[in-house]
Amino acid sequence: MKILVTGGAGFIGSHTVVELLNAGFSPVIIDDLSNSKKSVLQGLKNITGIDLPFYEGDCNDRDLLKKVISAEGIEGVIHFAAYKAVGESVDQPLKYYRNNVGSLVTLLEVLSELKIKNLVFSSSCTVYGQPDIVPVSESTPRKPAESPYGNTKTIGEDILRDTIKSGAALSIISLRYFNPIGAHPSAEIGELPTGVPNNLVPYITQTAIGIRKKLTVFGNDYNTKDGSNVRDFIHVVDLAKAHVSALNLLKKSEAPFYDVFNVGTGTGNSVLEIIETFEKVNDLKLNYEIGPRRSGDVEQIYGNVDKARDIMGWQVEKTLDDSLRDAWAWEKKINNK
């Protein structure tokens, strides 16, 4: 089954491409390289031995989508392509609505026109906002998004739900990602943040390698186990495999449906625990200090992932140690160390 992977050169997209191949699917990548690099394709080739079909372009480009889907004989799509910087989305909301919401609408129209049935959408635990209780499950009510970025995910889910309600001949799964970290164990692909990383683990690895002087822990006065924020950190390869499980479920479905699944580990770890574990598994000391809270941060969130296990037959295989070891191996590899 040929699968179009939009944003397939990105962090989660590239790892998913590998797992699709491992599971017998044939991925075709479309990516505008706005937040990824062409060198990812070489990393993918080193892992898989294959020169994957790659199209450079934007998913708002209807003609390109139509051309690629028809020419390649695509039967399903995983739609990763989106902007994801929370702070930037506050400053440039229209850029986010245009790209994240606009491309989803365009893609859905093209899928209907070309009668392509299967779609997996990248959603986020950001749709839960500041949750009242943890872990959050899929039946936990969503809350108003804290940023335009988060709102594009909430709106995206609503668009998909309404499309199915209208009787469209599509089967769609939204995966609500928690915090993806780590890298492929081969160290051939991983996260490639542009500029100063916003996310915790790339900031940690860049500090450990000497690109950044010091990590600041954004607050230790939260009402959590050690005062720092708690998140559900999932190895990117486990997250990638959830897309294979989602496609297998879509393939089996006879009638159109829409469903959502949490994709996390089911465990919450604090920022300080991440630092401690990173130091332990990699046998080094990290330069860090406690600083003020970052505005907009959720105090704590982690997922109940029973639904993904029970319905998709998916569960995590890797540990936090694996994630932080692989993240460090990748940082060393890209810095030739």
**Active site amino acids:** 149
CB 32 within 8 A of CB 8: no
Give the nearest residue (CB) to ligand UFG.
229
Closer by beta carbon to ligand UFG, 68 or else 215: 215
Per-position x/- string for 97-136, each x denoting binding to ligand UFG as judged by CB under 6 A, each - no binding: ---------------------------xxx----------
What CA dihedral angle connects 305, 307, 308 and 314, to 10 degrees? 90
CB of 91 to ligand UFG, least distance (A): 15
3-state SS string for the chain: CEEEEECCCCHHHHHHHHHHHHCCCEEEEEECCCCCCCHHHHHHHHHHCCCCCEEECCCCCHHHHHHHHHHHCCCEEEECCCCCCHHHHHHCHHHHHHHHHHHHHHHHHHHHHHCCCEEEEEEEHHHHCCCCCCCECCCCCCCCCCCHHHHHHHHHHHHHHHHHHCCCCCEEEEEEECEEECCCCCCCCCCCCCCCCCCHHHHHHHHHHCCCCCEEEECCCCCCCCCCCEECEEEHHHHHHHHHHHHHHHHHCCCCEEEEEEECCCCCEEHHHHHHHHHHHHCCCCCEEEECCCCCCCCECCECCHHHHHHHCCCCCCCHHHHHHHHHHHHHHHCCC
CB of 231 to ligand UFG, least distance (A): 5
Query: What is d(CA 331, CA 329) in angstroms, rounded to the nearest whole number?
Result: 6
Per-position x/- string for 268-307, each x denoting binding to ligand UFG as judged by CB under 6 A, each - no binding: ---x----------------------x--xx---------
What is the footprint of ligand UFG within residues 10-69 (CB under 6 A)? none
CB of 179 to ligand UFG, least distance (A): 5
Query: What is d(CA 106, CA 114) in angstroms, rounded to the nearest whole number?
Result: 12
Closer by beta carbon to ligand UFG, 178 or else 258: 178
Closer by beta carbon to ligand UFG, 143 or else 294: 294
Binding residue count for ligand UFG, defined by CB under 6 A:
22
Closer by beta carbon to ligand UFG, 252 or else 285: 285
Closer by beta carbon to ligand UFG, 34 or else 42: 34
Instruction: Say which residues have a Cβ less than 8 Å from residue 181's Cβ, sequence separation at least 6.
Output: 199, 200, 201, 233, 234, 235, 236, 323, 324, 327
Closer by beta carbon to ligand UFG, 179 or else 282: 179
CB of 254 to ligand UFG, least distance (A): 34
What is the footprint of ligand UFG within residues 172-201 (CB under 6 A)? 179, 198-200
Closer by beta carbon to ligand UFG, 75 or else 232: 232
- Look-up of token digits 């809270």: 293
What is the footprint of ligand UFG within residues 208-267 (CB under 6 A)? 215-218, 229, 231
CB of 156 to ligand UFG, least distance (A): 13
Per-position x/- string for 71-100, each x denoting binding to ligand UFG as judged by CB under 6 A, each - no binding: -------------x-x--------------
With CB under 6 A as the contact rule, the residue among 13, 131, 148, 150 that binds ligand UFG is: 150
CB of 49 to ligand UFG, least distance (A): 32
CB of 137 to ligand UFG, least distance (A): 16
Site residues (vs ligand UFG, CB under 6 A): 84, 86, 124-126, 149-150, 179, 198-200, 203, 215-218, 229, 231, 271, 294, 297-298
